[in-house]
Structure 1
Amino acid sequence: MDDRTLNDLLRRFGLSDKEVDTYLSLLEHGEAKASTVADAAGVSKRYVYSVSESLAERGFVEVNDHVVPTTIRANPPDEVINRLRSDVDAIRPGLEERFSRVERRAEQFEVIKSRVTVIKRIRSLLDDATEEVTLSITAKQLPEVRDALVEAVDRGVLVLLVVSDAAAKPDAEPGSGTEADAEDETDATDSNVVASGLDGVASVVRTWSEAMPTLLTVDSAAGVVAPPELLRRSSTDRQAIVFAQEQLAPVIVGSFLGNYWPAATEVATAEPATLPVEYANFRHTVLQVTLQLRSDVVPRVTVGGRWTDSGEEVEITGRVVEAKQAMVEPTNNEFPVQHSLVVETDDGPVTVGGQGAFVEDVEADLVRIEADE
């Protein structure tokens, strides 16, 4: 290896030009006095002492200051290489962790221009759902994701669905008949979707005749936002966004429940679950308690969570005397996203909310619902 290549490689390990010259001079002498190294490297004796201390800290040399005059010895190359290799291995986890953070940030958002890809992403996210789905989708596209929704409901996932744009008329395909025929066929299709295509497709279904964005959130962690034009038209420059960000998903859920859900009309609600059941998702808890109360079943709950004022862990048990909610009609919430329970315990009534609760007494992590004996 020529000197220039060797110098370049050593500089990659953080050595300056003078440090490289000093180290190479020491390699040629093995062990030498500072004055000898200074003459060979073309630097001052004081500089050799300073550089030698720096090289010693990194394992390149050993300074013997117990003798007079002080000598400096180059460590064997194998020792130096093993030390450098050990340092590289030590920093690998930190570098990989920081790199993976960048990758995760880059993957948090995906821009999509194709309707087909939007539907594919929605199906994929629905397949991964474990606790909660909120979805608004057009009547025309509902059949494309229906199976994934049914499977989610069968897994015990809370699914709140708005079927929008039910009155939309898609463009007739060439050769498919007259415009009137296309409209008649569309009316029949939309009517069938609303009337008979909703069995088992969601926990609660609402419809809205107006066009609205396609909004999907899954487990308050990921989802899709797509403008109406992207799913209604075969050619448009509008784009959809797929996101995987826990800070954004609750905002989308809030918009869905606070703005779009109240404007839609309830058309289907699932039957109450067979008790006992247990939920980590608090909105699912509130929905089931509401359905039980309306079926003349007095639900008794065991709530594991923490007091909102102190953060201290707590478990409470008692009969539910009231459920505040906005998922099924008639709603009785006091503000748009309120979902809470009033539980009558041996120590008196306790209000219970979900993740992030601050108005209620208890923030719930897990709730078991049973019929009160």
Structure 2
Amino acid sequence: MAADDLEAALDGVIARFDLGEYEITAYLAVLQHGELTASEIAERTDIPQPRVYDTVRSLGDVGLVELKEARPMKVLAIDPREAFADFQASLDELVEDLSARYTAPAREPEAVSLVKSRPTILRYLEDIVDAAEYELQLSLTPALLARFEGALRRREDDGIATEILLSPAADAPDPDTFDYDAVATTVKGRRGITTPVVAVADGDYSMYATRESVRGDNDRYGVVFNRTELGFLVSAFLNTVLWTTAETIASDGSELPFPRRYGTIRRCISDLAALEGEFHATIEGRNVATGDDWVVEGRVGTVSFGPNRSVATLVVETEDGPVDVGGQVAAYEDIEAYEIRVGRDAPPGV
């Protein structure tokens, strides 16, 4: 669609939001560039500088852009497929043409982010799925499973170890009609609608969102922990509270390939406790007593869980004696593990 036709079609749609010429002009500018400051919008359009802030806040109020409160304030484009998702099917052609102009904004990662809009929460969820290098744990609704099925299939093909919890379990697809093995190594179902939406990539990049926020309800939120030690809070909650109160729906039952990498000690122990034979491990982490970086190599000795997986025990037999391995914020163990690598014949290289 030509630019003039696109602007005319968009003008008709925007009328439903009761927005004016300045809002239309600003929206197209942000959509094309992905991210602009107020000054940049004024430079690229004929909108007077004093009117820019009111203009972009109007766009933010109806969910067409995302405002990042900073100095200077940044205006980020929202994918039109999300912004116009509730419109009638007759608008599909317009939305696709807008999407062709969309340039994804370059986001500077923050350690902790509070997000409130449904499109932003879904974008972070997609980013976490794509960012996983070896381990992915998810708590999803059946609708979100359908939404991200293609991405999960690609991640499974990439060899990512994926665990998915679905709730409410009664709405989960029937294993006889849905190929769970194509999207995850293990899938569980949890009763009820109180289970939050959770995503953890490699044990540290994680997100917690209320179920209401994913539905688009007001006054709800999601919290994103981007490569920060605080991410263990989400991982620990998923492993000890949600995963242990769910029932298995499907498991691929295939023999696990080694060497393997783990971001969470509980998933490592869960795998090793169910397997026979000798294993060797390389642990990257830090000394619990001194805080110094520490790499531990040796044969895997004891692996076990306490009641409800609240206590996880992993002991590595090294040349200098046994080393107790703990997860993030470990206190009783010798080493706080950042990453665990396990092999059959020898400790895998770092």
Which bin holds the TM-score, normalised by the shorter protein?
A: 0.5 to 0.7
Task: Report what 1:176 is aligned to.
Answer: none
Task: Report what 2:323 is aligned to.
Answer: 350
Counterpart amino acid of residue 154 in structure 2: E
SS in 2 for 1:141: helix
When residues 162 and 318 of structure 1 are mapped into structure 2, their CA distance, relative to the original with a 3 A threshold, is same
Q: 1:265 aligns with which of 231, 247, 252?
A: 247
Q: Supply the distance in 1 between the matched residues of 2:278 and 2:330 (Cα, whole angstroms).
A: 24
Q: CA deviation at 1:348?
A: 3.5
Task: Report what 2:198 is aligned to.
Answer: 215
Q: Supply the distance in 2 between the matched residues of 1:156 and 1:356 (Cα, whole angstroms).
A: 28
Counterparts of 1:78-117 in structure 2 under 5 Å?
108-113=113-118
When residues 238 and 167 of structure 1 are mapped into structure 2, their CA distance, relative to the original with a 3 A threshold, is farther
Spell out, residue by residue over 1:285-311, the C-alpha distance to the aligned partner (whole angstroms, 9 max, x if none).
x53564355332211223344432233
Q: Supply the distance in 2 between the matched residues of 1:316 and 1:107 (Cα, whole angstroms).
A: 30
Counterpart amino acid of residue 205 in structure 1: V
Q: Does 1:135 align with 2:138?
A: yes
SS in 1 for 2:169: coil
Spell out, residue by residue over 1:33-61, the C-alpha distance to the aligned partner (whole angstroms, 9 max, x if none).
xxxxxxxxxxxxxxxxxxxxxxxxxxxxx
Counterpart amino acid of residue 191 in structure 2: S
Task: Report what 2:298 is aligned to.
Answer: 318
Task: Point out where structure 2 has 5 or more consecutive residues left out of the alignment.
Answer: 1-69, 75-107
When residues 223 and 101 of structure 1 are mapped into structure 2, their CA distance, relative to the original with a 3 A threshold, is farther
Q: CA deviation at 1:224?
A: 4.5
When residues 371 and 293 of structure 1 are mapped into structure 2, their CA distance, relative to the original with a 3 A threshold, is farther
Q: 1:147 aligns with which of 144, 147, 150?
A: 150
Task: Report what 1:64 is aligned to.
Answer: none
Task: Report what 1:227 is aligned to.
Answer: 211
Counterparts of 1:158-307 in structure 2 under 5 Å?
158-168=161-171, 190-192=172-174, 196-211=178-193, 212-219=195-202, 220-228=204-212, 230-231=214-215, 236-237=217-218, 239-241=220-222, 243-245=224-226, 246=228, 249-270=231-252, 271-277=254-260, 279=261, 281-283=263-265, 287-288=267-268, 290-307=270-287
SS in 2 for 1:196: coil
Contact kept? 1:216, 1:225, Cα under 8 Å: no
SS in 1 for 2:180: coil
When residues 247 and 296 of structure 1 are mapped into structure 2, their CA distance, relative to the original with a 3 A threshold, is closer
SS in 2 for 1:135: strand
Q: CA deviation at 1:209?
A: 3.0
Alignment length, in residue pairs? Answer: 240
SS in 2 for 1:310: coil
Greater Cα radius of gyration, structure 1 or 2: 1
Q: Supply the distance in 2 between the matched residues of 1:316 and 1:120 (Cα, whole angstroms).
A: 37
With normalisation by structure 2, the TM-score equals: 0.56
Q: Supply the distance in 2 between the matched residues of 1:362 and 1:217 (Cα, whole angstroms).
A: 22
Counterpart amino acid of residue 333 in structure 2: E
Q: CA deviation at 1:343?
A: 1.9
Q: CA deviation at 1:256?
A: 2.2
Q: CA deviation at 1:163?
A: 0.7
Contact kept? 2:187, 2:248, Cα under 8 Å: yes
When residues 125 and 291 of structure 1 are mapped into structure 2, their CA distance, relative to the original with a 3 A threshold, is closer
Contact kept? 1:272, 1:291, Cα under 8 Å: no
Q: CA deviation at 1:162?
A: 0.7
With normalisation by structure 1, the TM-score equals: 0.53
Counterpart amino acid of residue 341 in structure 2: R
Task: Report what 2:90 is aligned to.
Answer: none
Contact kept? 2:135, 2:262, Cα under 8 Å: no
Task: Point out where structure 1 has 5 or more consecutive residues left out of the alignment.
Answer: 1-97, 169-189, 325-331
When residues 124 and 311 of structure 1 are mapped into structure 2, their CA distance, relative to the original with a 3 A threshold, is closer
Percent identity of paired positions between Structure 1 and Structure 2: 23
Q: CA deviation at 1:106?
A: 11
Compute the RMSD of aligned alpha carbons.
3.7
Q: Supply the distance in 1 between the matched residues of 2:225 and 2:148 (Cα, whole angstroms).
A: 20
Q: Supply the distance in 2 between the matched residues of 1:354 and 1:288 (Cα, whole angstroms).
A: 11
Q: Supply the distance in 1 between the matched residues of 2:333 and 2:73 (Cα, whole angstroms).
A: 35
Q: Supply the distance in 2 between the matched residues of 1:313 and 1:249 (Cα, whole angstroms).
A: 19
Q: Supply the distance in 2 between the matched residues of 1:347 and 1:372 (Cα, whole angstroms).
A: 19
Task: Report what 2:333 is aligned to.
Answer: 360
Q: CA deviation at 1:207?
A: 0.6
SS in 2 for 1:192: coil
Q: Supply the distance in 2 between the matched residues of 1:119 and 1:313 (Cα, whole angstroms).
A: 35
Q: CA deviation at 1:165?
A: 1.3
Counterpart amino acid of residue 369 in structure 1: V
Q: Supply the distance in 2 between the matched residues of 1:148 and 1:101 (Cα, whole angstroms).
A: 32
When residues 370 and 133 of structure 1 are mapped into structure 2, their CA distance, relative to the original with a 3 A threshold, is closer
- The list of structure 1 runs, each at least 4 consecutive aligned residues, that deviate by more than 6 angstroms after superposition, is 100-107
Q: CA deviation at 1:164?
A: 0.7
When residues 193 and 101 of structure 1 are mapped into structure 2, their CA distance, relative to the original with a 3 A threshold, is farther
